[in-house]
Structure 1
């Protein structure tokens, strides 16, 4: 068989975020369901056309989703939580949105399904819910419709489905606890039916994603692979797909499975290729993921040419592919008009990465490396660009001392000093930072960016919004106020724009969840700060009130994790550069009279290596970077941090090591499940478990918040408990925000009375 190529998935949002705009228009009743479906079809056709034009041998089908591909799998399998089911049992697009958002036309608001991070990425998925003895059946036929669409347009199709073991791994049990693997007896027949239905459409190859094979799995889960896949034999061919890390530790199990090919991520996995070749059955396709699906740099095609050429000398059946789905990349570099030619020549987005795969395939087929010279040489110019290296930054990194990473006194002493300083009541109330970002605010920022208005006019308008939000918070009787973050587009992008070493795109959007997209900054050189970023806005806000105003910074680990990184330095070095830059900002805030400073680190858990054996090394340098940012402050300065949508239990020791005075965390969406962990683990500092889910339009009632606080008090001493939402409020509207915060404050006052009586 000649060498072939493929991708594992294409970005679904559209180069101009067409999917986001369509989703939100549908949710607000501005377009019909038929119009929404038409936009989805148009996007799929565009994406298949791009793949075909790049001479990719298969178009990927099943990578499109209306919200999240894990939720799409739940829909396909008929796994609909009881509270989200229609009375007439029908399952449609509104059912999917009801699960994700907790709201749908003609349905009462209910709790949305839980959301968490997709492995070690900034993409979120809707967590499947499982009940004991649950049954499954094919219910949502979108996958089959999309296969028909692609076939009708003449494309050679490779469908992608999420594998059964990974699907069970990603979910959570509800009600009575039980072993999720017990559900395999009900799940396997449905997967058999899915595979058969796909093959009946004339499909040969089916991509079945099992990324948990990169994890260090127990024998029980590995045996589940052998059991399940023994039932998946037919005339179809299965490409078992793994990504995000190496799978060499699980290869002895993998090679026993009755599949026809294996995809490995050579970008993020560490492999002995000779051993890999010897272990993988000779008749299998070995698909090599060499084009990085998680970064925006051009690939060193000459390097990969030599790797794959060597493999072709000893193996007949080799495919060339991406390391993972291009879901994590922007769509098309050609949309960018405001990046310098020098820098643009270093980058490659999803469309260009398809071209890279094709170019590398052509070079291998012709055994002609010279085809790759021009493409690779453009990347090499990064090494000697004057935008990259700064000797002063390198010197500062080398001078970091242990004393830069510890507070001068322990928390118990600081806490008493801070209580006297701020005089806050029992159960102090606050928010996470951002308030609703209206169209007027977005237009104001855009007008300033496009130089339609000068800074003085821009500043005057931003200050109006700050005055309004301070006034609103005082009316709501919140205890610790914020300035609303109206000057900020995104919590990472904003800080990147004010630090050296970053460049920015206009259309480099990546899906985070649902209709939420982010535009990660790109770190191309050494990072440092040359002027104040937030201080003047915070000083102005503090001048408007006698209550303390809390400053918000995005922490170094989160800026690192949510940016596209340069690939010529270790992550920890880049993280420490960011930490030193932020430390300067913390110092200026404190000097400016701001003594409550929140340093958000929602990505701390996300950055964990997939293998637990590598966790300690990562957590050591990640917590150190946070402490570099936060430790050189006065004892009366209260350091907060915020984290959301991750499994905190895995990193609680590291969270303690951060030594933040207050941590605010997400708990409402998961019914405060995390707090039960505190029964075993006594978190020593102050904590604010979120009392309502800001990612759902549902307004929490006073009684619901009181119930959550009553639960929290069981596990956290009331004198160390804060009250706050799960996350920032920028995606909510003002009406929702005021009602929810009003209920939060009333519920808190009620709880104070109960506990003071």
Structure 2
């Protein structure tokens, strides 16, 4: 019998149905019952897709209205006090997004992916109380459809390990309480069926854990696995190897271990432990994080290598992680180059790959259609290797012959020239770059791309938006302006559309957080920039004001980390090609009179490897490529950059090495603790800590912002500080943005008046 396993499945819907119904509900245009109905239809559809693809192990509780970590906080009853008077969906979405009286919980990246999770808040006083309704109902829902699911849960150690202690207490003081709550849940689950498989996701195990955390693994899984005799427990890890944890887990009564053999090749070192324990190995060999078609020959070789140690009867073939991180289906990609499309596999296609690789590996009989698919797989993979679309000899030579790889002027010299050139003093106000993408702007771009309007009509609307944007910023008194980016669909896709080596999809959306989805470009070949990408729009904006307008670019590392990247050369080589393209754009901007240029590296931190042993190499090439991207800038050209959701303690020296003149960072949800490291290391460059959270519709008051700025001034001197929101404003509505920015400028004026 074939054995295959899917860690988890996308939930946003093949056409972003969940996004649309959520945003309708948040806009008070529908009742929550409409959200619930649509969600039930999506779950049914997604389960049936997997059933039709002959997946043996299908998940329930991988679906979420917003985020699975948030769901786990609700499940465990770990509700911060400020939300305790709220109930049901009002409570749930207030925790995620905030409301008029409650600040949202912190949000950060899920390991080194572009998915965000809601960070649990833990204190000494936190209590846990089981709320199992969602899990039980979803299992029964699937059962009524004739599908017996495994139940997905976030593991206790990962849940606490990714939590934030709000009172500096040890989050693991609560490990027994969380385990006991999970035991109560397992007892409820045990009544659902004769036998139920429960998957505990423990991705924290792939990091470098100290002995204290490792010591928790055995007692936790001894307790959970002994709760009910009819429950089989699977512990899954992904994104790297988990050898230290695996060595311990094989000595617990769990049923199976899920390991990632795509991004955790060192998991091979654990195979002897697993073999001797007789545990089932769920081998993750179908890539859950990238979109390239599997090479069946390579996958079978990988499985056969595993089978040298683990008997086939002890093996289940799996995705490397949840398919949440890839787009839903290729079936809507009618406009994609047919050759490039033949190299791809999205979530639904990966289900079929999983089934076919499993059939071949377990020596099951293939029908004619399956035999034909296997043959085509071989042909498509060979054709990709030799395609002339992949290689650009000219750009390869240009990179090889580069002489200047970074700026030659020191920061201390640059900043003197820049302060005199731009004539600013302190607490300079600006924004991160984007302004709200209105329905009208989106429709204008859509119509232009569809050839429904002329270029003149399109540009007229873009210019009108820029005019209004500049006028508003001048009116409220911002110091440094931006053009608002109305011409840009996405901060990565926009640039990729003008670079060789990138391909774009119609519907390859991936969930980033909540209802927010992104459509990453596909980098399939050598990257080259033929023409300027932003110069004309920034020049136009600058012509409308006497104030400084920042040029806005996306950095090479962020473009890399927010794309699906070719896997036939190293990521560092791809980043090097992108960096050269950005360097050319920086030079064209400054030659056009744009002397303040922001090169965003929002995703710089999330690209870090999860193991310390691999971090140095990444940091080195990531810094080198950022420095190359701004290497053409002159002494009076001020380079800004922006970083998202970063804990900087471990990479502060790397940030210094990037040598940007000004860095803006997201700190609004995480407090000023992130800034202290800049003070501790005597960071010299200027900093723009975000003083309000743009991921919430809540408008902070002037008083709140005054207090926030005062708190910043306790950490860093005023001359070093810029004042800005914590991220771009693209996803917000104009009324929120206008009031928030007015309050921000007013808060700075109050601070400055108080000093006179």
Equivalent residue number for residue 249 of structure 2: 254
Equivalent residue number for residue 585 of structure 1: 585
Shift of 1:3: 4.3
Question: In the alignment, is the contact (CA less than 8 A) between 1:435 and 1:484 conserved in 2?
Answer: yes
Equivalent residue number for residue 164 of structure 2: 172
Equivalent residue number for residue 294 of structure 2: 299
Distance 1:434 1:45 in 2: 37
Question: In the alignment, is the contact (CA less than 8 A) between 1:51 and 1:59 conserved in 2?
Answer: yes
Equivalent residue number for residue 323 of structure 2: 326
Equivalent residue number for residue 389 of structure 1: 391
Shift of 1:128: 0.3
Give runs of aligned pairs for residues 74-89 of structure 1, distance below 5 A: 74-86=73-85
Question: In the alignment, is the contact (CA less than 8 A) between 1:298 and 1:376 conserved in 2?
Answer: no
Distance 1:498 1:329 in 2: 23
Shift of 1:457: 1.7
SS state of the match for residue 649, structure 1?
A: coil
Distance 2:305 2:599 in 1: 48
Equivalent residue number for residue 278 of structure 2: 283
Equivalent residue number for residue 97 of structure 1: 93
Give runs of aligned pairs for residues 277-676 of structure 1, distance below 5 A: 277-312=272-307, 314-315=310-311, 316-366=313-363, 371=371, 372-401=374-403, 403-405=404-406, 407-676=407-676
Shift of 1:734: 1.2
Give runs of aligned pairs for residues 85-164 of structure 1, distance below 5 A: 85-86=84-85, 91-103=87-99, 108-139=100-131, 141-164=133-156
Question: In the alignment, is the contact (CA less than 8 A) between 1:645 and 1:666 conserved in 2?
Answer: yes
SS state of the match for residue 259, structure 1?
A: coil
Distance 1:119 1:466 in 2: 37
Q: Which string of whole-angstrom CA distances, capped at 9 and with x for unpartnered residues, describes residues 482-507 of structure 1?
A: 00100000111111111110000000
Q: RMSD across aligned C-alpha pairs, in angstroms?
A: 1.5
Distance 1:662 1:476 in 2: 23
Question: In the alignment, is the contact (CA less than 8 A) between 1:92 and 1:140 conserved in 2?
Answer: no
Unpaired stretches in structure 1, ≥5 consecutive residues: none
Q: Which string of whole-angstrom CA distances, capped at 9 and with x for unpartnered residues, describes residues 266-285 of structure 1?
A: 11112374761454444211
Distance 1:307 1:604, change over 3 A: same
SS state of the match for residue 9, structure 2?
A: coil
The alignment status of 1:749 with 2:746, answered yes or no, reads no
Distance 2:274 2:358 in 1: 24
Distance 2:25 2:543 in 1: 42
Distance 2:33 2:273 in 1: 52
Equivalent residue number for residue 734 of structure 2: 734
The alignment status of 1:192 with 2:183, answered yes or no, reads yes
Distance 1:458 1:231, change over 3 A: same
Equivalent residue number for residue 222 of structure 1: 214
Question: In the alignment, is the contact (CA less than 8 A) between 2:286 and 2:318 conserved in 1?
Answer: yes
Question: In the alignment, is the contact (CA less than 8 A) between 1:427 and 1:748 conserved in 2?
Answer: yes
Equivalent residue number for residue 69 of structure 1: 68
SS state of the match for residue 663, structure 1?
A: strand
Question: In the alignment, is the contact (CA less than 8 A) between 2:259 and 2:267 conserved in 1?
Answer: no
Question: In the alignment, is the contact (CA less than 8 A) between 1:128 and 1:171 conserved in 2?
Answer: yes
Question: In the alignment, is the contact (CA less than 8 A) between 1:411 and 1:659 conserved in 2?
Answer: yes
Q: Which string of whole-angstrom CA distances, capped at 9 and with x for unpartnered residues, describes residues 592-611 of structure 1?
A: 00000000101111011000
Q: Which string of whole-angstrom CA distances, capped at 9 and with x for unpartnered residues, describes residues 587-639 of structure 1?
A: 11011000000001011110110001211111000011000001221100000
Distance 1:272 1:239, change over 3 A: closer
TM-score (norm 1): 0.96
Indicate which of 173, 194, 200 corresponds to 1:208.
200
Identify the range of structure 1 (197-206 vs 609-618) with the bigger mean alpha-carbon deviation: 197-206
SS state of the match for residue 540, structure 1?
A: helix
Question: In the alignment, is the contact (CA less than 8 A) between 2:76 and 2:131 conserved in 1?
Answer: yes
Question: In the alignment, is the contact (CA less than 8 A) between 1:135 and 1:187 conserved in 2?
Answer: no
Unpaired stretches in structure 2, ≥5 consecutive residues: none
Shift of 1:480: 0.4
Q: Which string of whole-angstrom CA distances, capped at 9 and with x for unpartnered residues, describes residues 144-174 of structure 1?
A: 1111100111102111111000000110111
Identify the range of structure 1 (727-736 vs 112-121) with the bigger mean alpha-carbon deviation: 727-736
Shift of 1:659: 0.5
Give runs of aligned pairs for residues 694-705 of structure 1, distance below 5 A: 694-705=694-705
Distance 1:331 1:550, change over 3 A: same
Shift of 1:140: 5.1
TM-score (norm 2): 0.96
Q: Which string of whole-angstrom CA distances, capped at 9 and with x for unpartnered residues, describes residues 217-257 of structure 1?
A: 00000001112112111321111101001122443223223
Question: In the alignment, is the contact (CA less than 8 A) between 1:244 and 1:269 conserved in 2?
Answer: yes
Distance 1:191 1:338 in 2: 48
Shift of 1:84: 1.2
SS state of the match for residue 442, structure 2?
A: helix
Question: In the alignment, is the contact (CA less than 8 A) between 1:78 and 1:140 conserved in 2?
Answer: no
Shift of 1:185: 2.0
Q: Which string of whole-angstrom CA distances, capped at 9 and with x for unpartnered residues, describes residues 546-587 of structure 1?
A: 101001101000000000010101010000000001111111
Question: In the alignment, is the contact (CA less than 8 A) between 1:469 and 1:484 conserved in 2?
Answer: yes
Question: In the alignment, is the contact (CA less than 8 A) between 1:163 and 1:208 conserved in 2?
Answer: yes
Question: In the alignment, is the contact (CA less than 8 A) between 2:2 and 2:359 conserved in 1?
Answer: no
Distance 1:532 1:649, change over 3 A: same
Distance 1:694 1:391 in 2: 43
SS state of the match for residue 231, structure 1?
A: helix
Shift of 1:179: 1.2
Question: In the alignment, is the contact (CA less than 8 A) between 2:243 and 2:270 conserved in 1?
Answer: no
SS state of the match for residue 525, structure 2?
A: strand
Distance 2:88 2:121 in 1: 18
